[in-house]
């Protein structure tokens, strides 16, 4: 009994002693699926409550550092596909297949603030956040929707040319998944509010819904992931230009 | 029993494969700016695209219904593409009537000479202005390398608007026949790779001009003159590149053409034309903070050397072919309008992205001439769009100036689109 008490208090002291970087490292080291396949519905809602719906098939690997997306709907966008490969030592590679032009178009990854297909998610929002490229400060813990959360202030390093000045991120202590985030523009104004929802699939906590609100534009995006499959053994050769041109049969 | 078999054959594709059908209905009306008269040029009223996927195979049929309003109202079904693709692990093999797209610049591609152009749609973008041709294409991918080979068994020429008073360029002669070739096989090769953050590609194409030329004249006597029309043999070596400098994307594309009249010299007057010319496009694009884009292209056509004979058409006498009177029969259609032009393209979105404004300004850098193009597209719902556009050309009162010829083509267009 005494031993259990000592272990418990040690864990508590470790938790309370953790600084921002250590929490971010824990989040970074969280066990994630090798790959994820999902069918995503993207609902865009503007300030007049007018909506636009898209359906996307997504396949990603290496914690999202390699991702390929195919638009299935609306009919006007059907067949448009997007490939992203993040590199450690050079700029990320982004290519789009535009069926109407019959061309794979290389696009710039430097404009991280660009909206992805009219949504409130920018390419930066869709890119994995590298541990070394940010500074982390732990704020007062909070309870959010009944979940005990770490609260981190994430400050992008100057050299990465982020479109944000900082993020405040709420991380569920149980799953080590970010459940809420507020992102601030370079002027320090609140730009986006994001909420993340997750479910347990094959022993992993996997995000199944993302809600993004662009405060400045009064525009929202809701991404709902369905038919989520993890560890399907995706072949790395999938993340090649040639696979953009063809909607996968599964 | 036969009925059961037939039913099984009909049902099979739906069980084992995946059928997809999509398309658009796009009624459009076009008015001349100068006199507000309706212009009755043909346009694609409806498009239908059917795809069928089974295993590593795809079948695609891309068709359109071309319609013309007015007194000569008519509709034509056009099979734009019909081809099969096999996707082996190393690449893709496509065979059938298809449209290829080479090059890295947007819209104007000197290296993209595999398909002829439909000049009725010359102001459209991308594959919309091309004509499909029967060909075999093999693409092999190996790490960052991509090698493509295309074989076109039989030459196909541009679709030119003859006897079309509302079309901007009047073609003075409509040949009644073209000189045959025993073999009009064409082929192209393209190699692409990534070096650092730069995409680089080289290409080679060997084929025949897409626009016709006068090759010779048979003179039986002073009254009976028989002009001979056909397509010169032309090869093109291409180079293209995409790179990024800070927030700018640079796309460069260039092709060196070598053309020759290689028909047998069997006529009384044989026009032994021979020329080298280069076409290039330098495109710079910049995405602004608000996701709006602006880009510029410098489009150039430079005849390096030309030799042989040609016919001075207005005066009907033989003259020496030189860099001033040589007319290219292949390459980007914009090179027909000007030897050096600056095109500025931009887009902005308004009203929560419901309204998209696209604009393009074309300046002739050698002679007076401008084009101002504006297009507004409003999103009514996920599937319905309304588009209003205007193109306005300004020339310089010189009848041989292309922009002067285009002035009467200045128009406004109203289009409703439904996609399914």
Span B125-147, pLDDT tens digits: 778 999 999 999 999 999 889 99
Query: A187, A124, A58: which is closest to B291 by C-alpha?
Result: A124
- Tell whether the torsion through CA atoms of B115, B120, B122 and B127 is positive or negative: negative
Identity of the residue in A74, A91, A219 whose CB atom sits nearest the CB atom of B382 = A74
What does the pLDDT average to over B30-54?
A: 92
Return the structure tokens found at A242: 């040639």
Mean pLDDT in chain A?
Answer: 87
DSSP chain A: -HHHHHHHHHHHHHHHH--HHHHHHHHHHS---SEEEEEEEEEEE-TT--EEEEEEEEEEETTTTEEEEEEEESTTTTT-EEEEE--SSS--EEEEEETTTTEEEEE-SS-TTSBSTTSS-BHHHHSPPPGGGEEEEEEEEEEETTEEEEEEEEEE-GGG--SEEEEEEEEETTT--EEEEEEEETTS-EEEEEEEEEEEETTEEEEEEEEEEETTTTEEEEEEEEEEEE-----GGGSSGGGGGS----
Identity of the residue in A76, A113, A246 whose CB atom sits nearest the CB atom of B289 = A113
Q: pLDDT tens digits, residue range A167-178? A: 999 999 999 999
- Check A53 against B58: CB less than 8 A apart: no
The whole-angstrom distance between B347's CA and the closest CA on chain A is 14
Q: Chain B residue with minimal CA distance to A105?
A: B104
What per-residue confidence (pLDDT) applies to B264? 83
The whole-angstrom distance between A111's CA and the closest CA on chain B is 7
pTM of the entire predicted model: 0.85
Mean pLDDT in chain B?
Answer: 89
- Check A101 against B18: CB less than 8 A apart: no
- Check A101 against B420: CB less than 8 A apart: no
Q: Chain B residue with minimal CA distance to A89?
A: B196
What per-residue confidence (pLDDT) applies to B165? 82
What per-residue confidence (pLDDT) applies to B14? 58
Q: pLDDT tens digits, residue range B397-420? A: 887 788 888 888 899 999 999 999
The whole-angstrom distance between B375's CA and the closest CA on chain A is 18
Return the structure tokens found at A220: 């929202």
What per-residue confidence (pLDDT) applies to B228? 87
- Check A246 against B91: CB less than 8 A apart: no
What per-residue confidence (pLDDT) applies to A13? 47
What per-residue confidence (pLDDT) applies to A161? 78
Give pLDDT < 70 ranges for chain A.
1-17, 110-111, 250
What does the pLDDT average to over B335-340?
A: 84
- Tell whether the torsion through CA atoms of B173, B177, B182 and B187 is positive or negative: positive
More confident residue, B223 or B387: B387
Domain boundaries, chain A: 20-241
Please name every residue paired with A122 in a beta bridge, in sequence order, or none if there are none: A115
Residues contacting residue B90 through CB under 8 Å, at least 6 positions apart: B140, B141, B142
Identity of the residue in A90, A219, A245 whose CB atom sits nearest the CB atom of B197 = A90
What per-residue confidence (pLDDT) applies to B72? 84
Residues contacting residue B412 through CB under 8 Å, at least 6 positions apart: B30, B31, B33, B388, B389, B390
A101 to chain B, any CB pair closer than 8 A? The answer is yes
- Check A111 against B287: CB less than 8 A apart: yes
The whole-angstrom distance between A114's CA and the closest CA on chain B is 5
Q: pLDDT tens digits, residue range B162-184? A: 888 888 777 777 888 898 888 89
What per-residue confidence (pLDDT) applies to A9? 47
Q: Cβ distance A225 to A40 under 8 Å?
A: yes
The whole-angstrom distance between A179's CA and the closest CA on chain B is 27
Domain spanning A20-241 has what CATH number?
Answer: 2.50.20.10
- Check B99 against A53: CB less than 8 A apart: no
Q: Cβ distance A111 to B288 under 8 Å?
A: no
Q: pLDDT tens digits, residue range A79-105? A: 999 999 988 777 788 899 999 889 999
Residues contacting residue A100 through CB under 8 Å, at least 6 positions apart: B125, B126, B127, B128
Q: Chain A residue with minimal CA distance to B22?
A: A75
What per-residue confidence (pLDDT) applies to A108? 80
What per-residue confidence (pLDDT) applies to A16? 53
- Check A242 against B139: CB less than 8 A apart: yes
Residue among A41, A110, A248 with most chain B CBs within 10 A, to mutate: A110
What does the pLDDT average to over B189-204?
A: 95
């Amino acid at each position: 009994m005494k031993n259990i008490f000592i272990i418990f208090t040690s864990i508590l002291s470790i938790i309370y002693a953790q600084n921002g970087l250590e929490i971010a490292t824990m989040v970074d080291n969280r066990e994630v699926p090798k790959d994820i396949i999902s069918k995503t519905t993207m609902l865009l809602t503007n300030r007049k409550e007018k909506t636009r719906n898209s359906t996307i098939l997504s396949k990603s690997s290496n914690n999202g550092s390699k991702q390929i997306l195919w638009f299935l709907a609306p009919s006007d966008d059907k067949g448009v596909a997007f490939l992203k490969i993040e590199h450690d030592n050079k700029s990320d590679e982004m290519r789009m297949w535009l069926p109407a032009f019959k061309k794979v178009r290389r696009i710039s990854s430097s404009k991280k603030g660009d909206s992805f297909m009219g949504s409130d998610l920018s390419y930066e929002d869709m890119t994995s956040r590298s541990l070394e490229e940010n500074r982390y400060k732990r704020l007062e813990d909070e309870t959010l929707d009944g979940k005990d959360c770490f609260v981190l202030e994430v400050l992008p390093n100057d050299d990465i040319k982020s479109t944000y000045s900082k993020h405040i991120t709420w991380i569920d202590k149980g799953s080590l998944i970010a459940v809420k985030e507020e992102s601030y523009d370079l002027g320090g104004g609140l730009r986006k509010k994001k909420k993340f929802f997750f479910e347990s699939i094959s022993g992993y906590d996997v995000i199944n819904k993302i809600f993004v609100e662009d405060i400045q534009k009064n525009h929202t995006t809701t991404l709902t992931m369905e038919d989520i499959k993890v560890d399907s053994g995706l072949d790395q050769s999938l993340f090649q230009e040639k696979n953009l041109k063809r909607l996968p049969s599964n | 029993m036969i009925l059961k078999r037939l039913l099984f054959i009909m049902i099979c594709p739906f069980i084992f494969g995946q059928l997809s059908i999509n398309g658009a209905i796009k009624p459009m009306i076009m008015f001349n700016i100068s006199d507000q008269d309706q212009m009755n040029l043909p346009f694609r009223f409806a498009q239908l695209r059917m795809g069928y996927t089974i295993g590593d195979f795809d079948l695609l049929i891309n068709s359109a219904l071309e319609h013309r309003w007015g007194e000569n109202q008519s509709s034509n079904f056009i099979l734009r593409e019909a081809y099969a693709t096999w996707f082996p692990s190393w690449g893709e093999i496509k065979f059938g009537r298809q449209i290829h797209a080479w090059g890295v610049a947007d819209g104007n591609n000197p290296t993209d000479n595999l398909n002829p152009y439909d000049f009725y749609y010359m102001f459209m973008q991308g594959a919309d202005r091309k004509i499909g041709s029967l060909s075999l294409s093999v693409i092999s991918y190996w790490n960052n390398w991509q090698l493509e080979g295309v074989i076109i068994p039989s030459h196909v020429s541009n679709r030119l608007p003859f006897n079309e008073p509302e079309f901007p360029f009047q073609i003075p002669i409509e040949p009644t026949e073209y000189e045959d070739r025993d073999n009009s096989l064409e082929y192209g090769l393209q190699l692409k790779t990534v070096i650092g953050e730069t995409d680089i590609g080289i290409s080679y194409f060997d084929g025949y001009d897409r626009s016709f030329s006068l090759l010779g004249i048979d003179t039986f006597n002073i009254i009976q003159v028989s002009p001979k029309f056909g397509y010169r043999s032309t090869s093109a070596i291409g180079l293209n590149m995409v790179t990024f400098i800070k927030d700018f994307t640079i796309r460069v594309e260039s092709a060196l053409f070598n053309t020759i009249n290689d028909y047998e010299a069997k006529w009384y007057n044989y026009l032994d034309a021979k020329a080298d010319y280069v076409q290039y496009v330098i495109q710079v694009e910049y995405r602004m903070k608000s996701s709006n884009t602006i880009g510029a292209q410098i489009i150039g056509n430079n005849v390096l050397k030309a030799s042989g004979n040609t016919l001075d058409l207005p005066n009907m006498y033989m003259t020496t072919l030189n860099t001033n009177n040589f007319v290219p029969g292949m390459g980007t259609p914009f090179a027909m309008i000007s030897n050096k032009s600056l095109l500025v393209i931009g887009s902005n979105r308004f009203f929560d992205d419901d309204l998209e404004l696209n604009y393009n300004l074309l300046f002739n850098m050698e002679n007076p001439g401008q084009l101002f193009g504006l297009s507004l597209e409003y999103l009514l719902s996920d599937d319905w769009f309304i588009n209003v556009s205007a193109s306005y050309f300004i020339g310089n009162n010189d009848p041989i100036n292309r922009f002067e010829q285009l002035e009467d083509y200045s128009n406004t267009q109203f289009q409703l689109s439904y996609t399914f």
